[in-house]
Every structure is written in C-alpha cells, then in structure tokens.
Chains A and B, each alone.
Chain A
Amino acid sequence: MKNRISRKNIYNQATSRKTQFNSFFAVMLAPVLLAFLWVTITPVYWLLKEDHSFLDSTSKPDKVSHSPVNLDPQTSTESRQQYNDLSIEKVYWENKLLLCKDDSISLSIDLVDSLILLEIQGVILRTCKIERYELNWSLKYFREHPKFLSWLGTPFILQDDSASITKVPVKVIHAPKNPIDAAKLLQKILPKNDPFVEIDLEFNRNLRFHIQQGDTLDSPDHPEKGIYYSDILAGNKFETLRSSVKEYYPSRMYQINVVLSREDARAIYRALPNDARLALRM
C-alpha cells in the first residue's frame, strides 16, 4: 500500500515538474516573443503603409531618382548594397554641384567618410572631422526605405536653428566721453570664452541635425552645460525636448547627432546663413 502511494506521489511530482518546466518557459518567453514581434512587425507595417509625409515639394520626383533598394529579390544582397551606396553617393555629388551655383555658404555632410564640409561656390572653406555620430531609429529604418533617394534627392534647406552660443556675438558700447574712457573700452571689446557648444539645425523634410562639441564633453569645468539644459527645460526649447521624448518608434523626425571639436562646431554655426542648404551622404 505504502509503495503504491509513493509511486503515485512520484508520478504526481514528475507531472508537476513537467508543468512547472513548461510554465517556466512560457513565462520567460512571453515578453521575449512580444518584444521580437514588435521589433520585426512594426517596421514591415511602416514599410507597407506607404506614408510619404517626409517627402515635400523640394524632394526629387520618384521617376528621376534611382530606387535605393534594388527591388529584384534574386539579386545578391552585396550587389544590392553596393548599388544603394553608389546611388546615394551619386545623389550627394549631384547636390553638391547644385550648391556650387549658390553664392552663399553651404554644408556637405559625408557620414561615410565622417566629414563635414563648409563650402561656397564649390570651394571647400573648412573640413571638419566628425568624432562620432549616430542616427536615430527612424533614420536607420528610413535608410532602407525605397523612397530614401527621393528624400535625399535635392539639397535640404535650413528652416530653424538654436544653439547655446550666439550666432552674432554683438557687444553694445556707448561712445566714450574722452580718450581715457576710450582706452578702458578695449577690454570690453575683447571676446570672452564661449559656453559649451551645442547646436540644433532643423532642415526641411523632417531632418534634424544636432551638433555637440566633443573635446570637453565630459569635463566638469563646464557648468554652462547644466545652465543650458535648464534653459531647455524652462525656455523655448521645451517644445523640442517634448517632441524628442514623444518621438516614439517609428517616428517621422530623422535626426543625426554629431560630435565635433569645439572650434569646428562654433565655426559651422556662425558661418551658416539663415537659409543654408545641405547635401547629405550616409
């Protein structure tokens, strides 16, 4: 009798262990599976829904541009990738040629070679080495989208900008009464150190370009950075911050974050006119 019950007990225990084992995996895999589905299905949905709100009147018409993705599934991925890269490079140089005809200073961003060029009439004024950069989710996805070349097709136009430094460092001085006062004025004219340099350039077609100085990025000697961030929270930058928090995936704002040297960041910001144009390669 005792043996029979023990066997039954063992059987029950074994069954319960099996159930536990299954439940363990079910509980563990549920969030993994959900995450995986979200990550894989959402981009496909985004691709299929054909939302082309990122294209505007300045975009290049579809039939003129090459498709960035070769849509023949039989072609090897490598060849397709090469074709995409070459198409993007071609559009970049076409845009640069367009900018050559412009009399104002323009910007060329070459993320492939990690360079930012300030140009005017085809002459390179300044070459800035990108220390590091990152694309936001939307742009990473969008790079694979068939409409990507149409988006890149013509130079981007600067719509708005904001920065932690002034574009024109104006100092107002009242005329001195005598030569002694005038001598003291010279000290006022000499420039003071700029604060931590951080710039936001917003172009048309939902492109945002964020530049940050890199060489003193982690330095505690820059309390100005903290002040700047509190400015963002308190002031007119609140809207930008709110939209970046709201920027859920896949968002329509295509953002490139770039880290440059302090001098480069400052020179770019001060050199760019209000309606600066941009050629992009990535």
Chain B
Amino acid sequence: MPSIYPRIIENSANDDNMNRHDPGEMANIMFHKQTQSRSTKGIYFSAFFTGITLAYFIFANAPSIGAYVIRVSAPYLTKSAEEPSSSKTNDLLTRKIQNLKNRHQKYTPKIPYLIINTSDNHIYLKKGPRVIHEGPCSSGSYVVLKADGNREWIFSTPRGAFKIQMKLKEPVWYMPDWAFIEEGREVPPANSPQRYNSKALGKYALSIGSGYLIHGTLYTRLIGQPVTHGCIRLANEELNLVYRHLRYGAKVYIY
C-alpha cells in the first residue's frame, strides 16, 4: 500500500515497530499520535479556561463567601463572649430598644412647629409626627452683593433650630442700606420716611431672632424660588396658617 505520509515514515525509521509493520500502518499510528497530541493541547486549554471561569465566579462571590466564613469561624477563633445569646437576652434587648425609641419620640414637640427646607423651598407645618399643612416658600438667594467702599452683604437663610420670638400684625419694614443699593437707588438718611415700607412684608411677620422673619410678600410669583435676603417668604395661605398655629416659643427648624 503506497504511503501518503512519507515524512512521518522517514522520521520514524528507527522505531522498533518499523521492523514488524508495513510503513503504511506505522504512518497511521504516528498520524494518530500527532492528532492526539494536538487534541490534548486543546483539551488542556479548554480545561484551563474552564478553571479560570469557575475561579472568576468564586472571586465574584468572594465578599459573600468571606463574610460567611467569618460568621462561621468567629465563634471558634475569637475570645468567649461576656453575654451568651438566648431568647431571654434577645427579649431583654428588644425591651431596651423599645425604651430607647420611646425616649427618642419625646424630643418631638407636642405643640405645632415648622420645618423649612431651603434646598427645595418648601415648608411643613407639623404637630407631632402629623403634617398640618405643606406648601412652597422662598428662602435666601445666596447672593453676595458688593458695593462701593468695600461694603458687602450675603443673603443667606441660617440653618438650625429657632424659636418664634415675636408675632406681628401689619408689620412695617425698616429698609436697610442694601435694599436701596440693590435697586440702584440712592441711600436715604437713617431717619428718612423712605426707609419705612408698610406693604413689603405682607399681613403678618414672625421673628425667629437675629433680624430674620417669616413674612408675606407682594411678589407671589417668585414663591418657591430662592430669592430672599435671608428671611422666609410665604404666600398668603401659608402665612395665615403659620401665624395661626405657631405660638410664642414654637420651634422652627431650618435645613
């Protein structure tokens, strides 16, 4: 039978089997050996990649596996506990937690209070955990007004806990210098009648200290925008409710 693998036969001339078999059969065996070696390499590669893929999945879940290993091994590997866990201990802990929750609840004012969100310009009039009313407001614009003579003002609303210190009906605003400078007007003398404005603050005003007021406005279209000089402006509906519900000493929280 004529060989179709002359090179292989040539290479395996020293093989023992050569003396016993015809070259064709030998060539066949060698061909199988080489094919086998090639396929073995392929198998090893696929095994390696399968292994790597599986290892990847193990690493992907490593946080959960590791946490579980720690949970299981910690009782054996670390020092003994002072307080053993039992249903009794757990009940005691539950009671303690309830007690802490009750103590925490006592911090919420019993009388109506106001929460002002300057980030979204929104107010919440609340009593305990219940919301009595919510609506828009306007807070400080964060404008820094610079004028001649190195004079400057920043129009921001302070954050924190405040108390109602004064309640006014038909308030009159004594306009400070910046109110004129901001409008490009000439600043009048301190005792000038131009300084007094009886309409700008609306029907009511509530003072929270340091010159900051919660009051009404003539410019209702700007309610909901941060455009004030630090005070809180409310629309008529909200102003009436706030004035009616908040007593002297009632809390105002601004954030």
Contacts and interface: CB of A to CB of B under 8 A. Distances in A.
Interface of A: 1, 5, 9, 16, 20, 23-25, 27-32, 34-36, 38-40, 42-44, 46-48, 63, 66-67, 69-73, 75, 77, 79-80, 82-83, 86-87, 89-90, 93-94, 96-97, 100, 103-105, 118, 120-126, 137, 140-141, 143-146, 168-182, 185-186, 189-191, 249-250, 263, 266-267, 270-271, 273
Interface stretch (B98-106, B164-172, B230-238, B241-249): B98-106
A120 B161 contact: yes
A35 B154 CA distance: 59
B33 to A, nearest CB: 9
Contacts of A43: 66-67, 69-70
A175 B84 contact: no
A40 B147 contact: no
B37 to A, nearest CB: 10
Nearest to A122: B107
Interface residues of B, number: 87
A191 B78 contact: no
B143 A171 contact: yes
29 contacts: A27-B44, A27-B51, A29-B51, A35-B59, A39-B59, A43-B66, A46-B70, A63-B82, A66-B82, A75-B86, A82-B90, A83-B93, A86-B90, A90-B97, A93-B97, A97-B104, A140-B64, A141-B70, A146-B74, A168-B156, A170-B142, A171-B142, A173-B145, A176-B184, A181-B184, A267-B120, A267-B255, A270-B119, A271-B119
Contact of A90 (B44, B69, B71, B96): B96
A71 B156 contact: no
Contact of A118 (B106, B108, B184, B255): B255
Contacts of A186: 227
A140 B67 contact: yes
A24 B43 contact: yes
A72 B75 contact: yes
Nearest to B182: A182
Contacts of B144: 170-173
B142 to A, nearest CB: 5
Which 3 pairs across A and B sit closest by C-beta, in order of nearness? A122-B107, A93-B100, A35-B55
Contacts of A191: 225-226
Given A144-B71, A170-B154, A39 B65 contact: yes
B198 interface: no
Contacts of A86: 90, 93-94, 97
B1 interface: no
Contacts of B12: none
A80 B117 CA distance: 42
A221 B74 CA distance: 48
B226 to A, nearest CB: 6
B20 interface: yes
A126 to B, nearest CB: 7
A72 B85 contact: yes
Given A31-B54, A123-B113, 19 more contacts: A39-B62, A66-B82, A71-B80, A77-B71, A83-B90, A86-B93, A90-B93, A93-B97, A93-B100, A120-B255, A170-B142, A170-B144, A170-B154, A171-B141, A176-B183, A182-B182, A189-B141, A263-B119, A273-B159
Name which of A5, A29, A48, A120 has the most chain B CB atoms within 10 A of its CB. Answer: A120
A161 to B, nearest CB: 16
B225 A31 contact: no
A271 B159 contact: yes
- A27, A46, A103, A118: residue with the most chain B Cβ atoms closer than 10 Å: A27
Given A40-B66, A47-B74, A175 B148 contact: yes
Contact of B181 (A16, A47, A97, A175): A175
B66 A141 contact: yes
Contacts of A71: 74-75, 78-81
A218 B220 CA distance: 36
A9 B29 contact: yes
A73 B82 CA distance: 13
A261 to B, nearest CB: 11
Contacts of B80: 71-72
B83 A67 contact: yes
B185 interface: yes
A44 to B, nearest CB: 5
A203 B185 CA distance: 48
Nearest to A179: B184
A120 B141 CA distance: 23
A249 B226 CA distance: 46
B146 interface: yes
Interface in B24-60: 29, 36, 40, 43-44, 47-48, 50-52, 54-56, 58-59
A106 to B, nearest CB: 11
A6 to B, nearest CB: 10
